[in-house]
C-alpha cells in the first residue's frame, strides 16, 4: 500500500470537504480538521485496497454550480484564451459562490490561472485561503465603515428635519419670504444657497458679490426672470438648512 498517496488523497479530500460544506478550512492542528482527516484517511485507504482510483470527485449532478461570469483577463491574447478556458473549468469545480465570484472578479492575470492549472482544486483552494481570508476581512471592514457612515448620515438628517419642523420651515414659506423681500437690481451671482420648487414656480437663490444682496433666478410657466432681494440672515439660515435637508434625503 502506498501510504504517501493515501495521505495526500486524505489531505485533499479533507480540504475539499471543508471548502464545499463550510466555505473555509479550519487549522490543521484543530480537532475538527484532525477528525475529518482520519475519516478521509480510512476512506482513501479502503479505496486503494479495493483498487478504486483516488481523489474521486462528486458527479456534477450532485453539486450543481451556477455559471460565474468573470472580469476580463489581462495578458497576451494566446494566454488570455487559454486562461479563460482554465478559469471556466476551475470555477465549475468550486461550489462556494462567494469564492467563485471573488476569483472571477479579482484574479484577472492570465498567468495566475496558467501557473495553477495542474493543482488539484482542493489544494488550489488551500493555497488561496489566506488571500480570500484577507479579502473577507477587508470587505467586512468596508461594510462596517459604510454602515457607520450611513448611521451617522441618518442621524444628521434626522436632526436637521427636527430643526426644520421645529422652525416651521417649508418650501411655500420660504418662497413667501422671498416674495415679500425688497426687490433690488440684479448683480453678479456667486455660490448657490438653495433651490426651491413648488407646483408652479422654481427658484434658485445665490450669494452675490454684494454682501447685502441675494440673487434669485426664477422660472415659471410664463418664462424666466432674475432679480435681487435684500439679504436677511434669518432667511439665509433657513434656506441653508432646507438645502442641507435635501442633500441628505
The separation between CA 219 and the C-alpha centre of its own chain, rounded to angstroms, equals 40
DSSP class of residue 109? B
List pLDDT tens digits, range 71-123.
Answer: 889 988 878 888 999 999 999 999 999 999 999 989 999 999 999 999 999 99
Segments making up each domain of the chain, as ranges: 1-56+121-154, 64-118, 168-248
Q: What average pLDDT does the structure give for the chain?
A: 86
Phi-psi map region of 75: left, alpha, beta (phi>0 left; psi -120 to 50 alpha): left
**Rounded Cα distance, 109 and 57, in Å:** 27
How far apart are the C-alpha atoms of 55 and 47, rounded to whole Å? 9
* pLDDT beyond 90 at 228: yes
pTM: 0.47
- At what angle are helices 233-248 and 171-180 packed, to 10 degrees? 150
The residue-averaged pLDDT of 142-159 equals 92
The cell numbers describing 128, all together, are 488561496
- 59: Cβ contacts below 8 Å, ≥ 6 apart: none
Amino acid at each position: 500500500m502506498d501510504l504517501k498517496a493515501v495521505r495526500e488523497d486524505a489531505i485533499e479530500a479533507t480540504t475539499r470537504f471543508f471548502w464545499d460544506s463550510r466555505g473555509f478550512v479550519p487549522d490543521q492542528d484543530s480537532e475538527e480538521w484532525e477528525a475529518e482527516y482520519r475519516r478521509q484517511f480510512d476512506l482513501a485507504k479502503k479505496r486503494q485496497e479495493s483498487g478504486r482510483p483516488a481523489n474521486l470527485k462528486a458527479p456534477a449532478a450532485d453539486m450543481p454550480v451556477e455559471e460565474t461570469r468573470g472580469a476580463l483577463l489581462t495578458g497576451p491574447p494566446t494566454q488570455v484564451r487559454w486562461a479563460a478556458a482554465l478559469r471556466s473549468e476551475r470555477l465549475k469545480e468550486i461550489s462556494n459562490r462567494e469564492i467563485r465570484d471573488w476569483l472571477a472578479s479579482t484574479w484577472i492575470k492570465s498567468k495566475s490561472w496558467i501557473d495553477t492549472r495542474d493543482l488539484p482544486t482542493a489544494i488550489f483552494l488551500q493555497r488561496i485561503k489566506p488571500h480570500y481570508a484577507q479579502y473577507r476581512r477587508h470587505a467586512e471592514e468596508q461594510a462596517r465603515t459604510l454602515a457607520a457612515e450611513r448611521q451617522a448620515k441618518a442621524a444628521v438628517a434626522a436632526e436637521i428635519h427636527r430643526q426644520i419642523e421645529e422652525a416651521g420651515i417649508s418650501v411655500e414659506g420660504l418662497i413667501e419670504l422671498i416674495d415679500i423681500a425688497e426687490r433690488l437690481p440684479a448683480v453678479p451671482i456667486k455660490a448657490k444657497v438653495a433651490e426651491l420648487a413648488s407646483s408652479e414656480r422654481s427658484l434658485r437663490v445665490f450669494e452675490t458679490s454684494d454682501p447685502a444682496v441675494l440673487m434669485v433666478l426664477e422660472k415659471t410657466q410664463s418664462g424666466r426672470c432674475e432679480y435681487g432681494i435684500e439679504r436677511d440672515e434669518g432667511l439665509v439660515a433657513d434656506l441653508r438648512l432646507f438645502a442641507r435637508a435635501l442633500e441628505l434625503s
